[in-house]
Structure 1
Amino acid sequence: MSSPEIRTRRPAELALTIGVFVAVFASLLPLLRVVESGSWVPGAVVLSAIILAIGYICRWFRLPAVAVSLVEAVVWVVIVTVSFLRDTALFGLIPTPESVRRVPDLLRSAFDAIVQGAAPLPPEAGLTFFIVAAMGLLTIVIDHVVLTARMPLLAAVGLIAISLIPSIAVPGPINVVAFVLLAVAILFLLRIEVRSRHRSKAAPQTSRSVAGGVGATAIGIGAIGVVVALVATPLLPAPVTAGGVGNGIGASIDPTLSLGDDLRRPADVDVLRVRTSAPSAPYLRAVTLSTFDGDVWQPDRSRTLPLGDADSLGPVTVDDGITLTENSTLVEVQNLVTPWLPVAFPAVEVTGLNGDWGAVPANRTVVSRDGSSQGQQYRIVTDQPRPTLEQIRARSADGAGLGPELLALPADLPPVIAQTAAEVTGASSSDYDKLHDLQSWFRGSDFRYSLEAPVEEGFDGSGADAVADFLDVKEGYCVHYASAFALMARTLGMPSRIVVGYLPGTSTGEMQEKQTVYTVQSGQLHAWPEVFFGGVGWVQFEPTNSLGVPTNFASETLATGNPGETPETAPEPAASASPLSTIDPLDDGLPSGDVQAGATRSATAAVPTVSLVLGILLALAIPAILRVLLRRRLVASARKGDAAAAWRSIQDQALDLGIAVPASESARLLGARLVAEHGAPSDAMSVLVQAIERASYAPGHRLHPERGQEMTDAAAAVRGSMLRSVAPARRLLAVAAPRSLVVRPGSVYAGTVQAGSR
């Protein structure tokens, strides 16, 4: 290699090394959504920096490419050993057989954390080892692809795919900073690599047209990332795990009432299987929220006792004369990764759990101390108070003896909330009747369930201002109904809180031990309010229009059956409870117009699926579109007399058809092989070979406008003949997945030619 070329390559190699480091770092940032920040962040960053620095030093001394990768691999082994396996290593540096035996244990620990944990995962030792070691290997691979093979486009595709994995595993907003940083780093790599080839005397065939074409391709690759990240990824369904044992990060529960994005997912997954001794499936609670600061309802952070402790889930206490009905519910978790266990209310006993679990006596919820709900199978025993209508009306909801947070209201609460509550309940005297009036008002024809209207109107939340907007627009989903009901109850002097959990499941038609099996889907994630009545306890209400089971208490005079038998507290749900994703209204006396609205929303729910399909099709079509655009640029340059552009179009066509274009083969030899073996016309090929040889040996006279049309026609004839010489399947593959977008002619991946084939 000549000294001018060395002087050209070394600054380019330094710039490429820096670009690779920034790109790898940017692909690491989205992991912060899945794993809590810890030692793995600086560990991965430092390891990547050291590997790239070692690689640059090795190339400075002109070591062979294989030697560079081997040295980087040795450095990776040493650093990983020092960081995680030092106690079993020789001199703390050299791994021993014991060190190797430790690796599967660390990987198993990492995979268990991924399968059983809830994002963000704690950075325990196994997970930290896995991330740091994987990022080191990724750095070695990307370094080889970019600096040895000089294929930054291929590296870009890999880095974009890796950076999207956290978004797919834990759907949420795109990390804009990481995405932009990665895009800039990729474009920087492309630019530096193109400029280095353009300036090198060893590549006289490179021209401005080729550089411009690669720039267009770079923009196209960025477009692929944008389409996938901004269109397809948010529409992907939650990852599905099989059976009762998870193999990925499944559905989860958001305890902050930010349920809008979860409910708007286009596809549901089964999260629970339930069967119960009760006449129908119960609501299953996970978290209660009692503190409201005007903007956010905060999850309760009450004292937790070990599950099984005598005081963790004590007996239900009610006034004399109020019946308690005992039921048993069996829950099998299929695809739900959360530390909050879905349980029926009020639970007095939960058995069958694996791991360390605690119970919150104040709200009878159950939470994990060292794992998650995934794969659990457990039984819940409940004692449900069943007061009659007369008994509930005789009791007040004044909050005596309860914490002040259950009645607290922000100082700047919009007046419309209290005014509306007073207007709706003005004709009723008892606390229960007032709450029943509120429930009936929300479930009436004035309100409409909608997952989209809140977003369009800008109040996709549960704060006081969002509630005021909701009361004006009268469209929203469970979060708005529950928050509005709870705040209106507080303005009437009644203690309230919000519960996050799941609606009653849908009957599968299957029977086990004479009990109906219900399935609960991710789209049935729900929020509802509760109000405390003295002598009865917390009573749930269901204000969400067209969903769930509205709370009603039957009069003692209407009770049927044996004398003294207590009637049920509420009408039982239909055999198939309505999933949140389909929003089919229950048969609870709503006007037929709501049925039509539910059907309309079901049709609207199909729109994201169509968008997903169109987004995927667009992403799949982008390589072919980019190939057409790049070829047009080359043809336009060839028409102006650029021989390098005309020859590059032939090389790219050969690569797309799977034909080798090695660096060791001259233009004349390649042309002869394409004529002899791949159907290229000899006269047209002769025109192109003479033009590229003239341009290569006379670099100051690369443009020959007078021969532009002749070269363009010759190149078109050669490309057409090569296409016709291959099978239709190979031709289709060349169009749909053109290799020339990621493989450069003359690179190590462009193939080799057997000696006998020339």
Structure 2
Amino acid sequence: MIRPDTRLSLATVVAMGLATLTVLPLTSDRLFVPVTWLGIALVCATGLVLRRRRSGASLAFATQLLGVVAGSLVLGYAVSRDADLVTAYPRLWARGVLHMQTQSSPMDADPGVFLIFATSICLVAALADLVVSGLDRPAWVVAPLAALFAVPAIGLGYDSGILSFACLALGYLAVLVADGLNDASAWTRGLSADSSQGASFRTSASGTRAVSVVGPAVWRAAGLLAAPAVVLALVLAVLLPTISLPGLGLGSGFGGNGPLQLTDPSLDLKRNLNQPADRVVFRYTTDKPGGVYLRMAALPQFSAAGFGNTQIRLNTGSTLSEPPGYSGAVPEVRTTEITAVDFSSQYLPAPYAARSFTANGDWSYNSESLTIVNSDNRADVLTNLSYQVQSWDIAPTAAELARAGAGAPSDGDVTGVVPPDLPQSLVDLSRQVTRGADTPYARAAAIQAYLRDPDNFTYDTQQRPGNGYQALVNFLTLDRRGYCEQFASAMAMMARVNGIPARVAVGFLPGARSGDTFNVSVRDMHAWPELYFAGYGWVRFEPTPGVQAGSPPAWTVPTDESDTPTPSASASAAPSTATPSASEAPSTAPQETPTQTTTTTTTFPWRTVGVVAGAVVLLLLLATPAVLRIRRRRARLAADGPTDEQVEAAWAELRDTVLDFGGTWPSGTPRAVGREVGQRLEPSDREDLGRVATLVERARYAPSLGDPGATADLPGTTTSLREAITAPAGLGRRVRAFLVPASLFRRR
């Protein structure tokens, strides 16, 4: 027959094992699951063995924590194979944190993330075992279980799904059922081995008597366990990638350090392209034959983390600035009517170069990228939104671009920069690919042709783990396999090395035509590079092979004329100084005056919110013991059950008051305890304490002699005695007793 303590430990293992499955959406690595399950089993087994040896809950928990640390070190050595574990272990954690910050879910396998996940879950398992078996409060295992459930729920930014919730519910149910079986088979009440422990008892899972604290004292278990579990969940959730579009981390999808937190438009590329079932997210009509690219954002900053956002100015109004760098004649104006069918975002997808739009909501735009964002930083404003966009259809010819130089954009200090720490192998390859190309356009065309050549690269959504520079090295020199993210980032990087300002744009392909309507699906999400040419501004290129993106724009493929440009000033690398004629001058139609606010992409102050949230959490943690102690005292003083329970509750409150204020509660009979404690009280208070001690003795040893009316004023007497006990205490002692009540932490 299964012993009660074994039953609860097994239930805890099952609950934590099921809860582990809720984090699977965060990573494509499945190996951490069996390893973590083994760790959970070892953690719970350690607690079970130590509790049977009467080691106590505190010692068992401390041993479990040490075991988790030791196991984490062993696991770190196993995944790193580095004999110098002192330096390798911190590097693994740092690598895992960077991987989580620069990748989106599901992340590629990474040894650092493997270590972080396994260690964190085993720590939560130790907390779960403590609350279930150590503190004998099985119902409160919901705190650590919910913490694990919250990590993907917060990290993914949307409902984790019915399966994740089912795992959480089944695990919780397993613990409750085990506890119910234990209660049904062995429920007893008795007296403590130490008469000074005046409280009622019940048989615990280990077969020993455990205190059943009166009233809401169960909140102690909840508070002490929920606090670290929730903090751990929040820390992981902050580190983990979200469904957002802050930048391209060059891993499995979007991620990075972009400050604008978007909860849904990221729908990161890899996730979308690997969707088991495609779905339509936009429908639109347009007067441009072949449809339009629906552009969401441009990522101008390039660093070791990949392409991402930087600080930008946001302007109000629905009439946008002219496209930066364009100095030609006013091109044809296109009208596009768009409906968001199944998509939520803070970006307003629009054709480039948008000149005006009509949409419900509070929208702003950036004049450098012509990105349109919701000023309220809300993701739901796009849901089921129908809107209209007027855009310029800028379509230079290959010959025109061949005669243009690489321009100097106003944000060239960002879009034209080659990071000094860029691996030399990438610099050398970028120059090798463009060898022999004598104009910026020729170099750009050579890079695009190199990346689109099927003999050089293969379109594939599966890559080895990596982000930032390492992902570029993997893609360009090792695997030569990738999808639009890798192709776009590689071309933008190579263009910069060759002196052409470049950035990465993110949005959607034109979609499939059905009559007069174009249907854009979730798998049409796409990334492409934009290169800056004098007189034309930002020009879209398409290095991704046709298997996804189709044919490249006509202007990106050299013609005979563009292959042999006539030497001229405009064909050099210097910016074009051509000035449009009066007839080519931009429209001077009335526009809403942009307000050059210093708003950045961080339209929502996430850093401030994080600091405030951290401060709130810290304050809540500091206040938790005081709140629990107050609730316990109120419950005891409000006890209205049988006489013996009221008496025991009052006696327990007096005992805890003495302990909270630095005193000791002596051993012995209630009467002996009353005499010793009463020595520090005034005569009248000493008499009251003696009467309470007498009531305790009768309730314990001669309940039939008890007077039902003797407890009528017991709460008032108890309150009066509390005041007498605490009267001599100074301010410092009172503050300590309030914030850190010793009675909550004493071993029972």
TM-score (norm 1): 0.47
TM-score (norm 2): 0.48
